[in-house]
Amino acid sequence: MNVIQEYAEVISKHLQNVLSYEEVIKLIEKPKFQEQGDLAFPCFALAKHLRKSPAVIAQEMAPLIQDSLFAKVVAEGPYVNCFLNKQEISKHILQTILTKGSNYGNNSFGQGATITIDFSSPNIAKPFSMGHLRSTVIGNSLAKIVEKCGYQPLRINHLGDWGTQFGKLIVAYKLWGNDEAVRKNPITELLQLYVRFHDEAQTNPQLEAEARMWFKLLEEGNEEALNLWRWFREESLKVFSRIYSLLDVEFDSFNGEAYYNDKMETTVELLNKINLLTPSQGAEVVDLSEQNLPPCLIKKSDGATLYATRDVTAAIYRQDNYHFAKAIYVVGHEQSLHFKQIFLVLEKMGYQWANDMVHVPFGFILKDGKKMSTRKGKIVLLENVMKEAIELAKQNIEQKNPSLDNKDEISKMVGLGAIIFHDLKNERLNNIEFSLEDMLKFEGTTGPYVQYTHARACSILRKAKVSGEITNGLSDSHSWSVVKLLMDFPATIQRSMQQYEPSVIAKYVIELSQEFNKYYSHVKVLHVDEEMNDRIALVRSVTIVLKEGLRLLGVKAPEEM
């Protein structure tokens, strides 16, 4: 049931020669105050056509708008305001949710088409820091959201396993590396070597030249360089897989930059063949001056390739192999220019599907107001944060509910859920200040608050003596506030998909939790009377929607806390 569509249809029947259904539905809004009604149609757009004031038009229209779903329709100044039939609609919505269960809100408009989602993509031989969290959790959530909308997500971890940084790391390892220390604690040691390289290079520019030489050797297949690179990669993936397992994030492909090393020459040849490459200071570029963008660098003066070469090659490979309807790149906003260039180069190459590629940017996670930097060694390790969050969640549970079963499992759900939710409740383009204390609060706009609301609702269901079958529906104002939000869940998912914005769902589950807690404080749910079945149905519907909303964010919903 979509009451906005229903309202628009009835109104448009009376305005056949003035406004179309599509025009009417765009104008419908929600009144500012609940006592003014549930839906409002402003009449300003009709004044010119009908040569009457909006208030007069509203007075004349209101008596004509009738439907079994509308309890009453009134003129409120220049608006035609509709009060919905609470009992009828609550009965229908609750029945729909109980019947569909976790499938409530599913949509089929994706028609099974593939969407590739490029996300997480940490750099090999560097720690998985809090800075990598955003791409990982936003991408994971978007994959679940597009699947809910009928698409087939293909999750790609485009590992940063190639590039000049490996030249730097090889030089650093050969100069200062200790074989035993690296084997014992690879990521920590490799990070220290990487940071030392940048410190030393400030006074010894020759190191940068050596790094470029070693990367060139790596590209050419030098055995020593390749062996070191493989070792760095394997050790890094062991650490990454532990983190992904904790976050419950999976990938369909770990093909990183290195995978395209033997495929890039074909791309360069194709660019040459269609006369898109031009020389620039010894390098080769694609000129984008017509689009007011700097040139896209394809090959350096020493013949080495770049991110752009690999990304163009990867896009062609993915279209050839996965036939994507859309390709999403969840990468920080500082890479916006890079993706504009990549998409334009592909368009210039004649690929129509370049228009179906989307960069989904996001802001930084800040520590004390500053961006974290691997190069300077100023980072917060994600694995340490996750362990600390789980431990703090456990302490919270010990204080609040010491007799709880499965404390370890629930602590993990709450601790990790708090980190993920804290990220996703923020609009992705905003920067986020890292604060573990704020993330784990059981009140306010946090993951634990939503999880606790779900657990509280589950507790009511366990105490209930009836199954919660719908009888008459509910008409009191407290239940109506909850029903209206439950009704909005499918549209919320669509908005989230259209905007590539998980925060739309995060804000929704917070609002639903707040309304349910108000409902619970005002209404005796388990009071035995003729409405008890319907109230239990409302509570069960809330658990279904909260659990599914949290799942779309990559957060678990414990039944006890």
Per-residue pLDDT reduced to its tens digit, 436-461: 788 878 788 999 999 999 999 999 99
Query: Minimal CA–CA distance to 276: which of 298, 301, 303, 300?
Result: 298
Tell me the C-alpha distance between 219 and 545, whole Å. 51
Model pLDDT, residue 376: 56
Residue 246 has a pLDDT of 94
How many other CB atoms are found less than 10 A from the CB of residue 491?
14
Question: β-pairing, 114-118 with 152-156?
Answer: parallel
CA dihedral 375, 377, 382, 384 (to 10 degrees): 160
Ranges of residues in the chain with a pLDDT under 50 are: none
- How far apart CA 28 and CA 41 sit, in angstroms, is 5
pLDDT reported for residue 373: 57
Q: Does the reported pTM lie above 0.85?
A: yes
Q: For residue range 334-388, list pLDDT tens digits in order.
A: 999 999 999 999 999 999 999 999 999 999 888 777 776 555 556 677 888 899 9
CA 48, 51, 53, 58 dihedral sign is: negative
Q: What is the pLDDT of residue 131?
A: 77
Quote the pLDDT of residue 81: 98
Q: What is the pLDDT of residues 284-299, one digit of tens each?
A: 999 999 999 999 999 9
Spatial distance between the Cα atoms of 363 and 365, rounded to a whole number of angstroms: 7
Exposure string for 114-144, b = 16+ CB within 10 A, e = fewer? bbbbbbbbbbbbbbbbbbbbbbbbbbbbbbb
Distances 160 to 130, 221, 233, 334, 340 between C-alpha atoms, Å: 16, 18, 10, 16, 20
pLDDT of residue 375: 53
Residues 6+ positions from 556 with CB-CB distance below 8 Å = 248, 413, 416, 417, 451, 550
Distance CA 70, CA 180 (A): 76
Give the domains, in start order, of the chain with CATH numbers: 3-84 (3.30.1360.70), 418-553 (1.10.730.10)
CA 52 to chain centre: 47
